[in-house]
């Protein structure tokens, strides 16, 4: 009986090892990608308010319905898949302009925020910029794009490709003006 039990255990162990070795998963790379911790956010939040200050003064406030923050060797990003509304302030704590978009990514290391999809910038005078992509450089307090832009003022509508401006959207330069429509009568 001892001999039979030994044979049974040997056959069982051999069968298990053979079954394991015979299994093949063609999707092992997909499984590794899906389960890699680098692909998962380290923080997730809803109804987020981010305050940007300089020397104790609020320079900007960013509101986001959702935020996912990722931090790994490759990147340190905050992704706002449902967009943002950002308000920019002067030293007197007055709003000078705002940006709205349907999607945003902040590169925490480079201190830039890329906003895209129906981007709108409005300044204190009511001048309005519309584009599909805009980059806010927090270090220089500049916004820029290489995409098509449409600027509407009380006097004219300007179409162009590419723009650079201060965050107040009070001093801007359009790189390639495509057309100007006068609204004066």
Interval 94-139: pLDDT, tens: 999 999 999 999 998 899 999 999 999 999 999 999 999 999 999 9
Per the structure block, which two tokens stand in for 111? 């201190």
Among candidates 113, 123, 121, 126, which has minimal Cα distance to 149? 121
CA 98 centroid distance within chain:
17
To the nearest whole percent, how much of the chain has pLDDT over 70? Answer: 79
State the Cα–Cα distance between residues 100 and 81, nearest whole angstrom. 13
pLDDT tens digits for range 21-50: 555 555 555 555 555 555 777 788 899 999
Per-residue pLDDT at 1: 45
Mean pLDDT of 4-9: 57
32 domain-assigned? no
pTM to 2 decimals? 0.75
* Residues 63/95, Cβ–Cβ less than 8 Å: no
**CATH number of the domain to which 170 belongs:** 2.60.450.10
Among candidates 124, 131, 169, which has minimal Cα distance to 149? 131
Per the structure block, which two tokens stand in for 88? 């920019």
Per-residue pLDDT at 42: 78
128 domain-assigned? yes
Unique residue bearing structure tokens 């090892």:
17
20 domain-assigned? no
pLDDT over 60 at 8, yes or no: no
pLDDT tens digits for range 55-86: 888 899 999 999 999 988 777 899 999 999 99
Q: How many domains does the chain have?
A: 1
8 domain-assigned? no
4 domain-assigned? no
13 domain-assigned? no
Most confident of 13-17, 51-55, 85-89: 85-89
For 105, the domain range is 42-182
State the Cα–Cα distance between residues 80 and 70, nearest whole angstrom. 11
101 domain-assigned? yes
Per-residue pLDDT at 72: 80
Q: What is the DSSP secondary structure assignment for residue 37, as one 8-state letter? A: G
68 domain-assigned? yes
């Amino acid at each position: 009986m001892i001999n039979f039990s030994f044979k049974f255990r040997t056959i069982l162990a051999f069968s298990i090892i053979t079954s394991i070795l015979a299994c093949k998963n063609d999707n092992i790379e997909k499984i590794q990608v899906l389960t890699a911790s680098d692909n998962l956010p380290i923080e997730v939040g809803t109804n987020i308010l981010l305050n940007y200050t300089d020397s104790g003064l609020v320079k900007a406030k960013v509101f986001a319905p959702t935020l996912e923050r990722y931090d790994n060797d490759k990147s340190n990003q905050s992704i706002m898949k449902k967009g943002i509304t950002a308000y920019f302030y002067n030293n007197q704590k007055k709003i000078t302009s705002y940006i709205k978009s349907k999607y945003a990514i902040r590169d925490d290391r480079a201190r830039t925020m890329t906003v895209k999809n129906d981007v709108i910038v409005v300044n204190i005078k009511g001048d309005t910029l519309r584009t599909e992509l805009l980059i806010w450089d927090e270090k220089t307090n500049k916004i820029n794009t290489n995409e098509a832009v449409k600027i509407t003022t009380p006097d004219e509508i300007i179409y162009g490709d590419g723009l650079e401006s201060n965050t107040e959207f009070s001093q801007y330069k359009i790189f390639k003006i495509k057309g100007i429509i006068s609204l004066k009568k």
